[in-house]
Amino acid sequence: MLFRRLVTAAALATAMFAVSACQYEDLLPAEAPLPAALVQAIKSNGMGVKSPILVRLYKEESDLEVWKQKTDGTYALLKTYEICAWSGKLGPKKKEGDRQAPEGFYTVTPAQLNPNSNFHLALNMGYPNTYDRANGRTGSHLMIHGSCNSSGCYAMDDEQVQEIYSLARHSFEGGQRAFQIQAYPFRMTPKNMARHRNSEHYDFWKMLKKGSDYFEMTRQQPNVGVCDRRYVFDQSAETVAGLSATGACPDFSLPAQVVAKVEADHAEEEKIASSFSPSDFAETSTFSYRTGQPITPEAYAQEQHRREGYDREGNRVGGGGGSIFSSFLK
């Protein structure tokens, strides 16, 4: 009798485990729960599972950061993901077909999540935004997606994009109406700005840096507006909301600590640049493509800055790690 009871109990336990295991297997990728380890990290950092998020992208370092709002209203870094592949070179996207991954400040709403993407899951970045349109830039369907395969997007592997998608979904469920993506060419340090000061995009990057500095010093999402065809930042969301993208800019108010950082970093950049030899300045990669041109497998492989361990189709082949941009830009 005792033996029969033990056998029955074991069978019931096995059945219950099987049902539990199948609960998540039956879910679509877009509905998958956050990993337990990530939930624990959220809670241990004083965040809520459904609190707002903010995403920061860095091309040269191939990093995607997800920041999450804490109970005190400030943002803290939750997790850094290594971007699996992105295409083009440092600099903003300007036209349809240039295969450039965007740089700038973008907004993602629930409607921009795509659970049925051919690339596992996708989040539409919202390119072109107001700034892009004011400057005559064209293009569409620029995404953060899976499958480690990019033609102008930021491509992650499927496991990564599933986590990012789930974090976005939970933030929307918690009441966040939209989250901000800050896409940068590199980490906006004085040394990096000095390295890249000979680039044709330097003035554009200086403009982006002010928004980066705002976030770095306040740990608050910068209020971003566009006037005179340029990005501007202000302490008041109402001020930037009423701007004309092509009209004249009014005076803006930045927190004192942000102004101080902008000035201090510029002075440090000048000091660093004055100590550089010509070989210390970055050499921009020169490959580019025009719409309609055929692309050989070799050219396509060169165009994509891909994490080691993935082939040009986005399939994992083993190994990996490290920045994949180092061979193109010094």
Split into its structural domains, the chain has a count of 2
7 within domain boundaries: no
209 in the same domain as 85? no
Distance CA 61, CA 25 (A): 34
Residues 149, 289, single domain; the answer is yes
- Specify if 205 maps to a domain: yes
Shared domain check, 174 and 227 = no
Which DSSP symbol is given to 100? P
Partners of residue 150 on adjacent β-strands: none
Instruction: Let me know if residue 3 belongs to a domain.
Output: no
6 within a domain of the structure (yes/no): no
- Comparing CA positions, the residue from 222, 149, 184, 198 lying closest to residue 63 is 184
Residue 294: give its domain's CATH number.
Answer: 2.40.440.10
Domain assignment present for residue 16? The answer is no
- 224 is in which domain, residue-wise? 188-283
Residue 20 belongs to a domain = no
Q: Digits of tens for pLDDT over the chain (330 positions)?
A: 555 554 455 554 444 434 333 344 456 889 999 999 999 999 999 999 999 999 999 999 999 999 999 999 999 999 999 999 888 889 999 999 888 999 999 999 999 999 999 999 999 999 999 999 999 999 999 999 999 888 889 999 999 999 999 999 999 999 999 999 999 999 999 999 999 999 999 999 999 999 999 999 999 999 999 999 999 999 999 999 989 999 999 999 999 999 999 999 999 999 999 999 999 998 765 444 443 455 555 665 566 677 777 776 667 776 544 433 343 333
- For tokens 């701007």, the residue is 243
Q: Are residues 57 and 192 in the same domain?
A: no
Residue whose tokens read 């010093």:
217
Catalytic residues: 145, 153
Residue 298 placed within a domain: yes
Q: Taking the CB of residue 236, how many other CB atoms lie within 10 A of it?
A: 11
Query: Could you tell me if residue 24 is inside a domain?
Result: no
- Evaluate whether 30 touches 165 at the Cβ level (below 8 Å): yes
Cα distance between residue 178 and residue 265, in whole Å: 31
